[in-house]
Every structure is written in C-alpha cells, then in structure tokens.
C-alpha cells in the first residue's frame, strides 16, 4: 500500500494528506518522530536535507509535496485532479501553490527555525523581517482573493491545498489583519472543507509544539 512519511503537525505533510483525502486514496501513515527512527532513516535516505513528506509506492519514491500531489493525480484515486488537466489552467494553479509555499509558509518556517535556536544564536530582527514579508504577502493575497472563491481558476486545487497549512499556521502567530476581509473569509472557507478540517483535527494533539507566540485563535 502507498506510504506517506511525515508528521501530523507538519505543514508540508498536510499538503500530501489533503490531496490523499480529497481523492479518497488509501494509504499507510509512517510517523516521522524520535519514536520511529526507522521512518526517519527512510526520509533521511530519500530527501536531500531529510525533509518530509516522502511518498513510497512500491519501488517508486516521490519527494516534494507538489510533486507528490502530481503523482497522486496520475496514479491514484479517481476524483478530479488537484492540478487541472488543462495545462493552461495548471499554470495558475502551480503559480499559487508556489506563492503560498514560498511567500507565506517558508517565511513562517524561518521564524520557527529562529525561535528553536538558543537565544544567544538567534538571528536578530528575524521576527520583524518575517512580519514585513507576511504583511506584503497578505496584502497581495487580499487583492488576489477579492473576487475569487478558490485561489486559482474556479475549482479547488493544489493552490488551495498549499494555502490551507500556510494560512492556518501563519495566522496563528502573525494574524491576518481584520481589514483583509477576502483573505480571512477564504481562510475560513478552507478550514470548513472536510479534507482540511480533518488534517487540522488530526494535528490537535501536537498544538503545544507550536513554538511561536500564539496571537490569534487558529480556528
């Protein structure tokens, strides 16, 4: 059976899980944590810097959340693909997957990584820099989402899969301003979707792991 290596609290693992749930694909979850060193070893062997998720499908291994979503579309499940079949529509879907990963999730990860360092070696001003980046991203996304239901084209896609963990976690520590009504409404729409509600609920036992100051209710 298909295996996914990851952690229920990991944002990029959520991307793979949401695609699996959207497309009703059966799989075995392989927990990556200190209690499962064999699973961590698999991830260390297959990912360049030991990052997850990692998908193992028999002899086939796929790394990178977006590539895993592509792979699932091609080989597993019979629901509509998460990357639109029309390559012209796929351009916008991949664009927004990149926007949420690179300009929301990655800056937040930078903050998480700074916090996890000892106080003495923390990079100064990281929080201000991350806040400044997110302010720009939130403002851009507010304009982008003003007349949209989903982040790309007219249907739920890989873009919304990327948006879910990015906006869920970023808002927790760096709240989306109340004036950004379209973005906040979109975030609420994402959290109401069953596949996303499921990953949020499955991650609840690990909420104390969130290392940043919680400044907003995550849901």
Binding site for ligand GSH (CB under 6 A): 10-12, 50-53, 64-66
Q: Which is nearer to ligand GSH, 101 or 127 (CB)?
A: 101
Residue 10 CB, nearest distance to ligand GSH (Å)? 4
* Close Cβ partners of 163 (under 8 Å, ≥ 6 residues apart): 96, 100, 104, 151, 186, 187, 190
Query: Taking the alpha carbons of 20, 22, 26, 31 in that order, is the dihedral positive or negative?
Result: positive
For the beta carbon of residue 149, count every other beta carbon within 10 angstroms: 12
For the beta carbon of residue 121, count every other beta carbon within 10 angstroms: 7
Residue 101 CB, nearest distance to ligand GSH (Å)? 6
Residue 215 CB, nearest distance to ligand GSH (Å)? 21
Residue 143 CB, nearest distance to ligand GSH (Å)? 25
In whole angstroms, what is the distance from residue 216 CA to residue 177 CA?
A: 11
Q: Which is nearer to ligand GSH, 111 or 142 (CB)?
A: 111
Q: Which is nearer to ligand GSH, 52 or 168 (CB)?
A: 52
For the beta carbon of residue 159, count every other beta carbon within 10 angstroms: 24
Q: Helix 87-100 crosses helix 126-145 at what angle (to 10 degrees)? A: 150
Q: How far is CA 115 from CA 107, 121, 130, in A?
A: 13, 10, 12
Position of minimal CB gap to ligand GSH: 51
Q: Which is nearer to ligand GSH, 50 or 205 (CB)?
A: 50
Q: Which is nearer to ligand GSH, 52 or 172 (CB)?
A: 52
* Close Cβ partners of 95 (under 8 Å, ≥ 6 residues apart): 152, 159
Residue 65 CB, nearest distance to ligand GSH (Å)? 4
Residue 131 CB, nearest distance to ligand GSH (Å)? 21
Q: Which is nearer to ligand GSH, 52 or 138 (CB)?
A: 52
């Amino acid at each position: 059976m298909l295996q996914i290596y990851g952690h229920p609290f990991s944002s990029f693992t959520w991307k793979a899980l949401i695609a699996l749930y959207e497309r009703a694909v059966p799989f075995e979850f392989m927990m990556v944590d200190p209690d499962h060193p064999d699973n961590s070893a698999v991830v260390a062997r297959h990912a360049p810097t030991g990052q997850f998720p990692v998908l193992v499908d028999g002899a086939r291994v796929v790394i990178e959340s977006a590539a895993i979503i592509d792979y699932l579309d091609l080989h597993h499940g019979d629901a509509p693909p998460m990357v639109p079949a029309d390559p012209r529509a796929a351009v916008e879907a991949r664009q927004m997957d990149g926007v949420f990963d690179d300009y929301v999730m990655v800056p937040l990860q930078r903050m998480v990584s700074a916090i996890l360092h000892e106080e003495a070696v923390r990079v100064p001003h990281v929080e201000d820099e991350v806040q400044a980046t997110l302010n720009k991203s939130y403002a851009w996304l507010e304009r982008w989402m003003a007349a949209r239901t989903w982040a790309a084209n007219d249907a739920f896609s890989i873009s919304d899969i990327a948006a879910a963990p990015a906006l869920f976690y970023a808002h927790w520590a760096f709240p989306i301003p109340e004036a950004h009504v379209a973005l906040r409404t979109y975030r609420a729409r994402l959290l109401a979707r069953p596949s996303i509600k499921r990953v949020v609920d499955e991650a609840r036992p690990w909420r104390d792991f969130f290392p940043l100051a919680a400044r907003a209710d995550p849901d």
